[in-house]
Structure 1
Amino acid sequence: MMLFSEVRGLPVVPPAGAGPIGTVTSLTVDIASGAVSHVRLRGSRPGRTSVLSWDSVLAAGPGAVRVRSAAAPDTVPPHHDLLGRRVLTEAGTARGTVLDVAFDPETGRVLAVFTTRGEVPCHRLLGLGDYALVVRAG
């Protein structure tokens, strides 16, 4: 298990031992599959940002995120950062703010969302948009 807050700021490196290609700024989650779909990173040049598909990740660990290649994916989904996002039930009841997200660093599968009002299991996630993370009440 790894936390989004632990990944943010890690160097992204290719497997051949070359220098870092950037630094992780955030992870994009596909709520429908319940998994990380993309890694967003800041490049070595100022103002340059990139997106990599989670499929290109070989390993995510405490020291770095290792990737197969730095090639950008063909399509990039909209990005809504989970950290700091408001949490609402499907009925619109406020359920706090996202503090962190636990995920499996091998598969990218989201395990739990930690909020200011407690833990939300991944099976309760319904949607994520510009305004909030929507969860099943319960």
Structure 2
Amino acid sequence: MMLFTEVRGLPVLPGTGGDPLGTVTSLAVDAASGTVSHVRLRGGRFRRETVLAWEAVRAIGPGAVRVGDAAAPDPLPPRHDLLGHRVLTEAGTAHGTVLDAAFDPATGRILAVFTTRGEVTADRLLGLGDHALVVRGD
């Protein structure tokens, strides 16, 4: 298990070594499937933000994110960062703000979301948009 906040700031390295591709800025989430979908990183000559599909990730450790050598950037999906997002139930009841999320680094599966009002299990996630993370009510 790893936390999103542990991954932010890690260098992204090609699998066989070499210069870093950039630094992780965030992890994009597909809330409906309960998985990490992309790794957002900033780097390169112009410090532009790019994204890599989760499938390009080979390993995540405490010191770096390793990706396959043929990892090519994906088109930038809409930016819906999980961290800092409001949490609302499907009925519109506020459930705090996202502080962190735990995930399985081998599969990208979300294990839990930690909010200012407690833990939300991954099976309660419904969707993530510009306004909020929507979860099933208690």
Partner of 1:30: 30
Unpaired segments ≥5 residues, structure 1: none
1:70 counterpart letter in structure 2: A
Q: Alpha-carbon deviation of 1:15?
A: 1.0
The CA deviation string for residues 46-70 of structure 1, in whole angstroms up to 9 with x for no partner, is 4411110000000011100000033
C-alpha distance in 1 between matches for 2:25 and 2:45: 14
Q: Distance in 2 between matches of 1:34 and 1:98?
A: 15
Q: Deviations over 1:83-112 (max 9, x none)?
A: 000000111111000000000001000000
Is the 1:21–1:70 contact (alpha carbons within 8 Å) kept by the matching residues of 2?
A: no
Is the contact made by 2:50 and 2:76 (CA closer than 8 Å) also made in structure 1? no
- Look up the equivalent residue of 1:6 and give its one-letter code: E
Q: In the alignment, which residue of structure 2 is the partner of 1:102?
A: 102
SS in 2 for 1:81: coil
1:123 aligns with 2:126: no
Q: Which amino acid aligns with 2:59?
A: A
CA RMSD of aligned residues (A): 1.1
Letter in 1 for 2:121: P
1:42: which partner in 2?
42
TM-score by length of 2: 0.95
CA distance in structure 1 between the aligned counterparts of 2:76 and 2:21, rounded to whole angstroms = 19
**Whole-angstrom distance in 2 between the partners of 1:46 and 1:95:** 39
Tell me if structure 2 keeps the 8 A contact 1:57–1:66: yes
Find runs of 4+ consecutive structure 1 residues off by over 6 angstroms: none
- Match for residue 136 of structure 2? 136
Identity %: 72
Contact 1:86 1:133 in 2 (8 A): yes
Distance 1:77 1:49 in 2: 11
What code does the residue aligned with 2:71 have? A
How many residues get paired? 137
